[in-house]
Amino acid sequence: MLKRTLLGATILASALASAAHAQDKPEEITIGIATFLTGPASVFGVPARDAAEMLVEDLNEAGGIDGVPVRVNFIDEGAGGEAFTAEYRRQVQDEGADIMFSGISSGNCMQIAPLAEDLEVINIMWDCGTQRVFEEGEYDYVFRTQSHATGDMLALVLYLLKTKPDFQTIAVVNQDYAWGRDSWEIFSTALKAMKPDVEVVGEFFPAFGAPDFSTEISRLSATRPDVILSTSWGGDLNTFVQQASQRGLVNQSQFILGLGESSLEALGSALPDGVIIGGRGDHYFEHPEMVGQENFDSFVAEFKETTGSYPIYSVFHMVQAFEALKAAYAKAIEDGDGVWPDDQALIAAYEGLEFQGLGRPVTIRAEDHQGIEAQIVGTTVQTGDYPFATLENIMIFDGETITTPVGESSIEWVSSLTPEFVQQVEPTTFD
Amino acid sequence: MDYTLILLAIFDGLSYAALVFMVAVGLTLIFGVLQILNVAHGSLYAIGAYLTASIGGAIFAAGYAPILAFPLMLIAAALVGILLGGPIEYLLLRRIYHKPEVLQLLVTFAVFMILEDVQRLVWGNQPYFESSALQMLGNIQVFGVYYTVYQLILLPVVAALTLIGLRLFLRRTLTGRLITAVTEDREAAQAIGIDANRVYLLTFVVGAGLAGLGGALASPTTSVLPGIGAEMIVLSFAVVATAGLGRIEGAAIAALLIGLGRSAATYTYPELQVLVPYLIMLAVLLVRPEGLFGSPAARKI
Amino acid sequence: MSTRHFLPLLALLLLLFVPMAAPGLQILLTLALAKAIAVMGVTLLLRAGQVSFGHALFFGISAYAAAFIAATSLDDLVLLLIAGTAGAALSGLLVGLFVVRYRGIFFGMLNLAFSMIFWSILEKFYHYTGGADGLRLPRPTVLGLSLDRAPFELLLFYLTLALTIGLGWFTLRFLGSPIGQLFQTVKTNETRLEYLGVSARTTLLKGYVLSAALCGIGGILVATAQGIVTPSYAYWIRSGEMVFIAVLGGAGSIPGAVAGALAYEIVRAYAAAFAADIWQLVLGVFLLVVILFAPGGLAGIYTAIANRLSRRDPSPTAHSPNEARQ
């Protein structure tokens, strides 16, 4: 009985949906946003959803996109494989989503990219970092509005080699999944290329969501590597840093936390001075080039007011996805002399698009649809201005120089770098 | 590998074993008496951790002394046992004792699913971290490596006390003996007038409380976040099955085996770490199907 | 043919028209039916009184076997199905040789141990298995023809539907056969089996291999429909889900497995869509209600209703759905 009722409802819904988007200028633009509402990665997903709701409200108050209001539906990436893809299709086929933002998990992005291509729906990979998507496949409908793992990791390596060049040994503690493995492969390949005498003395990949790192910490304390890298995030990172900090490991070794920006507030006073922090792009709530600009300050204040926390990189990535959307529609409408763009016109607009979120301007490469984004890296300091650590000795790396060139494989490209590359790259510094 | 590293690996294994035992002991107690493998045990563990971390965070932020963390753990455990364990047994499990094993297990599986979402509704998605208890006890240095007193000394001591306490309780007190009687032979115990319903309720409350206590004890060492229950429950299953279902001392030995095996793997071949508990369980069950300390079930003809 | 057989047949017939009438449901139902095949495997074991908490093992093994083959040039749906099923049946035989010595909770736990070991290997051996992110399973050709997504999915839907009906029929035939009868005696009276001079272990092993193969076929179909395989295919929650569906449908009822899988997937999909935050809670409550108030599952409810409608039919009650609808 239930089955047939639902069946009827679905038929009705799809009929309504297809009637609704037959006109030239639609009554509204529907966006399906995939984000983690459940599971460990909801530490990124939920703030990003809050940001999306805020952005849509502001956007519609300001008249929408060329007078067309925007409506968003959220899909939970945490619902798991089948439920996620089934819901993605439902959004596109039944709800008539005009454009999809998906998603956070690299695994989901790898899965969605060919699906979006087959469904012929524009898909913006608004957060995921795997470099593989565009290096292993070519897509017409898929774009990325931020950097990928290579830029994220290269900035960290360069910062380390510029600020603390004299070290011999390094160990890694990463989560055991694609991001943890891939980011270490890129980081270690780049590091060995630019500093051939470095020795890797420990590689730990504790299970994703591991509750305890005590054993790894004992092992590292006994090994005493000069540098310890972790690109973990969320609860895993917090646990690891708290335990390492409590047991003095943070004072023994130079820590690099690739995604540390997202945990600054959560770690509070547990994060000591002197830890190198990255933010997967130039994302930081006190971005030295953005603080003082009206839109940046008001966004940070509004976000803090609404959610009780400062924005983290996934929030900034969501902002970029929306800014790119606005810019792409504006460009497409202008190029089409005011005609409402179809998918092809919008794709043409996205290719080579330049837009600005709440950091430096981002360009989407026309050739492979990859976003070119600057990177911010800094060192922690507990100043007492906030109940958590903030960044000093900030460097901002230009996106162009540290992103894999079009058509090349990231690993091959970073392994071809030389020690001279460290001097060739000149980041912006702040005092 | 030199001797220092072996000793360090043993220390790590011990403190891990202590935590695992604290969770598994409640599970095995419940199984011993009620013959139900409680999947929701993992959720009760998680809720114990959440209660301790969130209440602790709130009261320490309000300026109360961190020493309160310890009584707080006991309170959290009691809350889990009484407010969750009690109703689960009284309202749900009581209706299904006569039903097939699989249905009993699925009822607890359903409770697990429900509690997973309840945790998220109550505590949200962001991880909690509240380690005042651990920080207060400070560190000790062993062979140049810092360990926290909390993990190296307190946890194993609490685990040992729990083991001894439970033994004494089950053998020396009247209530404990009633529980043992029901465990040994449910029908005979009822025949001599023992109120099995009360024993079941009490056991479940105690078992659930132990899960909560396990979570409360683990909370200062870890981030409390959605999903920790699901991980813990399979690990406790492995301990309980290795030990022999319902065997409390066995659970201690099995937890030690798994803890030491796991840390040995981390020191030598870290990639094997997650495999170790299941390999041990498989190896034991293949040789002794009833577990290390279990007694073979009488065959019903 | 009585009315009680008529309605399920009508429902199956209605499924034939899903791609035309409700294309939005097509992929959801493909997945649900594929899972139904896997659940039949679990249901089969329930008929022998055994509950496996690790049957996701075979689901995962065949899915990964399919993904490995799909990465080679032998990338054809028929080959994937054959190889995956063979892989699941073979591993079912190997695991079965160990586990058929055990009964009850030990049987369940040992299965759990095997599946968790396999899961850990999938998670750990990243360079071969893709770790937690799994492997992509690009759309295979069908008998040498490469199809676009739409026709491929249509074909997959009908293939899955045909397999569900065919394998369901086969499983019922198996249960009705002499071997199947002996197999079910493991539940009711194992000792009598031994007195008859029949090895309970060998009998159970035969059913176990069949159940592993069924799970395997479900795994390949889900993997092909998804285009990706991940370790979650072999995780204990997946095994629990299969037992969940088997009980929801009516423990021991093959048509119930299909009804259960359809109901489960639809409730889950709509719960995820309309109550994204609490879909697990919704499912949990659903399960509790079924166990407490309708222990015979959907098959039991159906039988009860059918009985009420046709009083003159004196056959089974709600509490023994096993004999119903065969």
Confidence band of A16 (pLDDT split at 50, 70, 90): very low
* Domain identity same for A143 and A155: no
Instruction: Kindly report, residue by residue over C129-188, the tens digit of the pLDDT.
Output: 877 777 878 888 888 888 888 889 899 999 999 999 999 999 999 999 988 888 888 887
Residue C114 clears pLDDT 60, i.e. is over it: yes
**Domain presence at residue C318:** no
**Domain presence at residue A11:** no
* Domain identity same for A323 and A187: no
User: Of A349, A369, A389, which closes a domain?
Assistant: A369
* Domain identity same for A257 and A379: yes
**Domain presence at residue C164:** yes
* Domain identity same for A260 and A383: yes
pLDDT at B276: 87
Confidence band of B31 (pLDDT split at 50, 70, 90): confident
* Domain identity same for A338 and A349: yes
* Percent of chain A's residues with pLDDT above 70: 94
Q: Where are the domains of chain B?
A: 18-224
Burial class (CB in 10 A: 0-12, 13-18, 19+), A248: middle
Structural domain total, chain C = 1
Residue A81 clears pLDDT 70, i.e. is over it: no
**Domain presence at residue A413:** yes
User: Of A369, A395, A414, which closes a domain?
Assistant: A369
**Domain presence at residue A423:** yes
**Domain presence at residue C45:** yes
Interface touch B11/A209, C-beta < 8 Å: no
Confidence band of C325 (pLDDT split at 50, 70, 90): very low
Of B100, B234, B281, the CB nearest to C236: B234
Strand partners, A428: A396
Q: Which of A163-177, A199-213, C124-138 has the highest mean pLDDT?
A: A163-177
Interface touch B125/A222, C-beta < 8 Å: no
Confidence band of C62 (pLDDT split at 50, 70, 90): very high
Residue B257 clears pLDDT 70, i.e. is over it: yes
- Domain of residue A407 covers 150-279+374-430
Q: Which of A57-71, A94-108, A233-247 has the highest mean pLDDT?
A: A57-71
* Percent of chain C's residues with pLDDT above 90: 30
**Domain presence at residue A258:** yes
Instruction: Kindly report, residue by residue over B159-197, the tens digit of the pLDDT.
Output: 999 999 998 998 899 888 888 888 777 788 888 888 888
Instruction: Kindly report, residue by residue over A265-309, the tens digit of the pLDDT.
Output: 988 888 989 999 999 999 999 999 999 999 999 999 999 999 999
* Domain identity same for A169 and A232: yes
Q: Is B148 helix (H, G, I), strand (E, B) or coil?
A: strand
What secondary structure does DSSP assign to A344-391, as a single string?
HHHHHHHTT-EE-SSSS-EEE-TTT--EE--EEEEEEE--SSSSS-EE
- How is residue B164 written in tokens? 């001894």
Of C46, C278, C288, the CB nearest to B117: C278
Structural domain total, chain A = 2
List C-alpha distances in Å: A330 to A123, A140, A173, A338, A340.
18, 20, 44, 9, 10
- Mapped to the 3 state alphabet, what secondary structure does C229-286 carry? ECHHHHCHHHHHHHHHHHHHHCCCCHHHHHHHHHHHHHHHHHHHHHCHHHHHHHHHHH
Q: Is A163 on the interface with C (CB under 8 A)?
A: no
Cβ-based contacts of C52 with chain B (< 8 Å)? none
- How is residue A176 written in tokens? 């055991």
Query: How far apart are alpha carbons B120 and A42 in whole angstroms?
Result: 11
Q: Find all residues with CB under 8 Å of A117, minimum gap 6, and list them.
A: A139, A140, A141, A142
Residue A138 belongs to domain with CATH number: 3.40.50.2300
* Domain identity same for A95 and A213: no
* Domain identity same for A408 and A265: yes
Residue C323 clears pLDDT 60, i.e. is over it: no
* Domain identity same for A160 and A270: yes
Residue C317 clears pLDDT 60, i.e. is over it: no
Cβ-based contacts of A248 with chain B (< 8 Å)? 139, 146
**Domain presence at residue C188:** yes
* Domain identity same for A275 and A387: yes
The overall average pLDDT reported for chain C is 84
Residue B301 clears pLDDT 50, i.e. is over it: no
Interface touch A37/C277, C-beta < 8 Å: yes
Count of H-run helices and E-run strands, chain C? 15, 2
Residues of C with a Cβ under 8 Å from any A Cβ are 21-25, 27-28, 31, 123-124, 126, 130-134, 136, 138, 148-150, 222, 226-228, 230, 232, 262-263, 265-270, 272-273, 276-277, 279
Interface touch B37/C244, C-beta < 8 Å: no
* Domain identity same for A56 and A101: yes
Interface touch A211/B273, C-beta < 8 Å: no
On whether the CB atoms of residues C143 and C186 are closer than 8 A, the answer is no
Q: Is A230 helix (H, G, I), strand (E, B) or coil?
A: strand
Burial class (CB in 10 A: 0-12, 13-18, 19+), C110: buried
Interface touch A81/C227, C-beta < 8 Å: no
Instruction: Kindly report, residue by residue over B103-147, the tens digit of the pLDDT.
Output: 788 889 899 989 988 998 898 877 788 888 888 888 888 888 888
Cβ-based contacts of A243 with chain B (< 8 Å)? 221
Interface touch B270/A222, C-beta < 8 Å: no
Residue A101 host element (H or E): strand A99-101
**Domain presence at residue A9:** no
- Domain of residue C179 covers 3-16+24-310
Q: How confident is the model over B68-94, as a mean pLDDT?
A: 91
Q: Which of A100-104, A318-322, A407-411 has the highest mean pLDDT?
A: A318-322
Q: Is B100 helix (H, G, I), strand (E, B) or coil?
A: coil
* Domain identity same for A64 and A27: yes
Phi, psi (deg, nearest 5) at residue B95: -80, -10
Confidence band of A375 (pLDDT split at 50, 70, 90): very high
Q: How far is A201 from chain B (nearest CA, A)?
A: 12
Q: How confident is the model over C197-205, as a mean pLDDT?
A: 86
Cβ-based contacts of A204 with chain B (< 8 Å)? 266, 270
Within a 13 Å sphere around the CA of B150, how many CA atoms are in the beta-carbon half? 24
User: Of A369, A392, A419, which closes a domain?
Assistant: A369
What's the pTM value of the predicted model, to 2 decimals? 0.81
Count of H-run helices and E-run strands, chain B? 14, 2
Q: Find all residues with CB under 8 Å of C36, minimum gap 6, and list them.
A: C164, C218, C245, C257, C258, C260, C261, C262
Residue C113 clears pLDDT 70, i.e. is over it: yes
Instruction: Kindly report, residue by residue over C289-299, the tens digit of the pLDDT.
Output: 888 888 788 88
The more confidently predicted of residues B297 and C66 is C66
**Domain presence at residue C322:** no
ipTM rounded to 2 decimals: 0.80
On whether the CB atoms of residues B234 and B39 are closer than 8 A, the answer is no
On whether the CB atoms of residues C246 and C42 are closer than 8 A, the answer is yes
Burial class (CB in 10 A: 0-12, 13-18, 19+), C254: buried
| Least confident span in A54-68, B134-148, C102-116, C303-317 | C303-317
